[in-house]
Amino acid sequence: MISIFPSLLNGAVITLKLLVSSMFFGLLIGLLFAILRINKNPIINKFAYGYSYFFRGTPLLVQLYLIYYGLANIEFLRNSFLWVIIREPYWCAIIAFSLNTGAYTSEILRSAFQTIKEGYIEAAQSLGVTKKITFYKIQIPIAIKQSLPAYGNEIILMLKGTSLASVITIMDLMGEARKVNVLTFKPFEAFITAGIIYLFLTFIIHNIVKYLEKKYGFQT
């Protein structure tokens, strides 16, 4: 059990890297699509809805395979500069995870935007604050605060989601556990140790989010 620990920890570092980068891009995508979702233009609105419907309605594994195996099938992508990115399983995983978590994040933020009390916006308007500043300084901060608990869940779901990277040959925590299992034929040792590390990571994320909630959370 001790001998397999270092390799699993190496895997855990990759898992965390995948998690942090996809959460970062996912948040940007989520924010963009949440703004598109509350747009009044029906075409933009429908487009954003379709995006989130597709990525929430299909399994992450399908999305990952579509990007990793599927995109390489398109001739002009293979000849373009993008090929450098999509031929790497690591980047494909990050693209798939970011798009996936972006869809969920956009839903979380959208509901947060829609539940902001009218009074805040009206107050800003009567104080003569411009629309743009109201949006950036009032609506976005409130939405982020309100969505912290749901977003914390999303981070944990994504941590579990990154384990799928192992099926496209990335040696993350799950991939290392599989390797140990294949090399030693000790499935319980390999997967239970990996499970403990995953639980530990979940526990840490849970507590960080709880702390942030306490510090910045919205008491109404």
Partner 1 sequence: MELLSFGDTGWGDELFFATLMTIAVSIGAMAIGFLFALIFTPLKLSKNKTLNVIGNCYTTIIRGVPELLVIYLLFFGGTGAAMYVASIFGYDGYIEINAFITGALAIGIISGAYSTEVFRGAILSIDKGQFEASKVLGLKKNIQFYKVILPQMLRLSIPNLSNVWQITLKDTSLISVTGLVEIMRQSYIAAGSTRDPLFFYSVAAVLYLILTFLSMKIINKLEVRYNKGF
Backbone torsions φ then ψ of 217, nearest 5 degrees: -60, 165
Question: What is the distance between the terminal CA atoms of the chain, rounded to a whole angstrom?
Answer: 48
Neighbours of 52 (CB within 10 A): 21
Task: Name which position in 71, 82, 129, 138 contacts partner 1 (CB under 8 A).
Answer: 71
User: Which of 16-24, 62-70, 89-97, 125-133 is the region at the interface with partner 1 (rule: CB under 8 A)?
Assistant: 62-70
198 is an interface residue for partner 1 by CB under 8 A: yes
User: Which of 101-109, 115-123, 139-147, 196-204 is the region at the interface with partner 1 (rule: CB under 8 A)?
Assistant: 196-204
**Cβ–Cβ under 8 Å, residues 8 and 194:** yes
**Cβ–Cβ under 8 Å, residues 183 and 36:** no
Task: Name which position in 13, 123, 183, 199 contacts partner 1 (CB under 8 A).
Answer: 199
Whole-angstrom distance, CA of residue 45 vs CA of residue 49? 6
164 is an interface residue for partner 1 by CB under 8 A: yes
Task: Name which position in 9, 62, 123, 183 contacts partner 1 (CB under 8 A).
Answer: 62
141 is an interface residue for partner 1 by CB under 8 A: no
